[in-house]
Chains A and B, each alone.
Chain A
Amino acid sequence: MEQRLANTWRMTVNEKKFIESALLSGLRVDGRNVYDYRKLSINFGKEDGSAEVHLGQTRVMGIVTSQLVQPYRDRPNEGTLSIFTEFSPMADPSFEPGRPGEFAVELGRVIDRGLRESRAVDTESLCVLAGKLVWAIRIDLHILDNGGNLVDAANVAALAALSTFRRPECSLGGENGQEVIVHPPEAREPLPLIIHHLPIAVTFAFFSDESTLVVDPTHQEEAVMAGRMTATLNTNGDICAIQKAGGEGVPQSVIMHCLRIAATKAADVTVKIRDTVEAYNTERALRKIKRHSAPVALDVSGTLPNLRKNQVKSEDQREVSGSVGTQVEKLKLMNERKNSDQSNDIEDTSKFSKKQKGSQSEKSTQQASPKGSAEDMKAISPATESAKIASQTHGEKTLKDAVKPKHKRKKKAPSAVDGS
């Protein structure tokens, strides 16, 4: 296309020779070991379903969105998952805007096979009305910086974004149950996707000397390499996809060796993804509690919800509409505060302080870990972004803060509560 504008970056012969000869002695230019990954860090955006992954110098952003569409004819009960990769020209001077080059298509296909064809995301749960309406999940992967090994980074970005994505809840209504009502996130808590396993892609680069191979090549190593292989595995030991498109021929023993290495690497990366997603979910639940004060307060029936984590249960637990099961300690503290605000017409401070004392004594009798988590909450809450509602206080929330003037109640709009 714009050939005269593409000032391609070419490596000098000296650099090529240096990288190759260093690899013969098992040394890599950035000081890593041959089988080492670069530092992987995953950050989440403000919305659900957006993740940014840094793998060394490579930077990829993944965004997940959903839409209601008609299903494919041959699969009327299943939702769809589609992956779009954008090789942004900002990532590399040789990336052109417009039609994706062959490498972009290949990357999209490898990730697609790893995610969709291995059934990592449960598509049957995305069906709303069989044959008529299903959820179509769209993953957009934006390559922001090409530091090498885009496949692995993009894969992690897609998985992280999928793990934190929430789709709106919808229910059937209307006369014959054929109408679909999509509930906005304020009314009903959106639902996460069901992900069965995390397929992790591990890329190997082969060099012209047969015994040399590296894991997670940088873009300089990619310019020198003679062949590449990507193996997508999960922690159960299943191989979801293997991609080796041309390049240098390698013996079978090397391939088997690579798969073994890939299995260990996949386990590490899976743990990393799971931890960061966990941390994000906890923080998100905290934010949700701050925002949805009204639905929490209205539901005072006191029946215990099923808890995911084994936290200490106390008598005063209130049902929280649909929020992800997280540390109950935090929920309980917040619930009590909101309940007392709503239920009392007159701000009776003495009555409230009794409740305060009651819950504090409860807190002290509980184990150390919930208490640690309560402190954790206080530490996290200054760090989390304050909700846009003016009445929210910033920083630490203690029970004393709950004795707020009346204007807080005015801002709450009672909304439909999910009773289940």
Chain B
Amino acid sequence: MEIDRADGRNPNQLRPLSCSRGVLNRAHGSASWAQGSTQVLAAVYGPKAGTKKNENPEKASVEVIWKPKTGQIGKQEKEYEMVLKRTLQSICILTIHPNTTTSVIVQVVHDDGALLPCAINASCAALVDAGIPLKHLAVAICCCLADSGLVMLDPTKLEEEKMKAFVYLVLPNSILSVLPEESSSVKGEQMEQGLITSVTHGVMSVDDYLHCLERGRAATSKMSDFLRRNLQPQLSSDSSKAG
């Protein structure tokens, strides 16, 4: 059965994506990512000397600061910071610059559903803009589950509130390989099948979750293409931001 979404999308349709990099002048890397009305601005300050006390000094560490649109920082923001930090730590190559801290600052410009995936996408683009070495890119998506069992992608805030459950999924970027097909599998299983982060809200059955995962994976290939196109090097030369 078809559920009418308020903005006329069908369940598998994402909102229009837009990404611009290099939007800030002082930050080493910055990106603004918008999915429909949800918009997030992320800035990255490249490796700074020293790590915090509880971090491992033999590796680089990532520090995330989440700035909400209005109001004080509460538990929700701390949770987002933690999820974002763990996700970014898994995609950065931490062994290249030990005993350094890379700061990622996320500013919420407007929240209309799927805020955390939007922030993860923005941070990823900002890390690329700053030139931080990464293993691969990550694309994040939100899938929600209606009472009828229908899985919808990229909900708006109203949809998120009405749904039975929703899950934020972060998947690795799809592989664009120049090598022949066989060598793209890692340890016998495709790397594309991996899942970096998953945060669920609400109750859903295992089958529903796996269903969401499939749908999410299918959608991330579209997002990966968008990201790849967007991250093509820009023609204008950027002046050095370190000074």
Binding site for B on A (CB under 8 A): 2, 4-7, 9, 45-47, 50, 57, 59, 61, 63, 65, 86, 88-93, 97, 138, 140, 142, 144-147, 219, 388-390
Contact = CB atoms under 8 A, between A and B. Distances in A.
Contacts of A145: 24-27
B49 A93 contact: no
B109 A146 contact: no
Interface string B1-41: 00010111000000000000000111100100000010001
Contacts of B26: 57, 90-93, 145-147, 219
A45 B103 CA distance: 26
B166 interface: no
Contact of A90 (B7, B30, B49, B112): B30
B43 A90 contact: yes
A46 B107 contact: no
B243 A9 contact: yes
A144 B108 CA distance: 11
Interface size class of B (residues with CB under 8 A): 20 to 34
B70 A138 contact: yes
Nearest to A63: B70
A93 B28 CA distance: 9
A145 B25 CA distance: 7
Given A4-B49, A89-B105, A47 B110 contact: yes
B52 interface: yes
Contacts of A7: 48-49
B6 A388 contact: yes
B105 A88 contact: yes
Contacts of B37: 46
List the 8 shortest-distance A-B pairs measured between CB atoms, nearest first: A90-B43, A390-B8, A90-B105, A4-B50, A388-B7, A57-B25, A145-B24, A140-B70
Given A4-B49, A145-B26, A90 B107 contact: yes
Interface of B: 4, 6-8, 24-27, 30, 37, 41, 43, 45, 48-50, 52, 65, 67, 69-71, 101, 103, 105, 107, 109-110, 112, 156, 243
A140 B6 contact: no
A5 B48 CA distance: 6
A389 B109 contact: no
Nearest to A138: B70
A138 B8 CA distance: 35
Contact of A5 (B27, B49, B65, B243): B49
B32 to A, nearest CB: 10
Contacts of A46: 37, 110, 112
Nearest to A385: B37
Contact of A45 (B6, B43, B52, B109): B109
B36 to A, nearest CB: 9
B62 to A, nearest CB: 13
A9 B46 CA distance: 13
Contact of B24 (A2, A90, A97): A90
A90 B27 contact: yes
Nearest to A391: B8
B50 A86 contact: no
12 contacts: A4-B49, A46-B112, A59-B24, A63-B70, A65-B70, A88-B65, A89-B103, A93-B45, A140-B70, A147-B25, A389-B6, A390-B4
A42 to B, nearest CB: 15
A299 B65 CA distance: 50
Nearest to A386: B7
B218 to A, nearest CB: 24
B67 A86 contact: yes
Contact of B110 (A45, A147, A389): A45
A167 to B, nearest CB: 15
A63 B65 contact: no
A390 B50 contact: no
Nearest to B41: A144
B107 A144 contact: yes
Contact of B65 (A45, A50, A57, A89): A89
A62 to B, nearest CB: 10
Given A9-B243, A63-B70, A144 B103 contact: no
A93 B7 CA distance: 41
Nearest to A91: B26
A63 B69 contact: yes
A210 B153 CA distance: 63
Contacts of A390: 4, 6-8
Contacts of A59: 24
Contacts of A91: 24, 26
Contact of B67 (A2, A92, A142): A142
Nearest to B30: A90
A2 B65 CA distance: 14
A306 B43 CA distance: 48
Contacts of B69: 63, 140
A89 B26 CA distance: 10
A251 B58 CA distance: 57
A172 B67 CA distance: 37
Contacts of A65: 70
A92 B41 CA distance: 15
Nearest to A392: B8
A88 B107 contact: yes
Given A88-B105, A90-B107, A92-B26, 4 more contacts: A2-B52, A89-B45, A97-B65, A388-B156
Nearest to A411: B4
Contacts of A88: 65, 67, 105, 107
A47 B103 CA distance: 29
Contacts of A140: 69-71
B103 to A, nearest CB: 7
Contacts of B4: 390
A65 B110 CA distance: 13
A364 B25 CA distance: 51
A47 B8 CA distance: 21
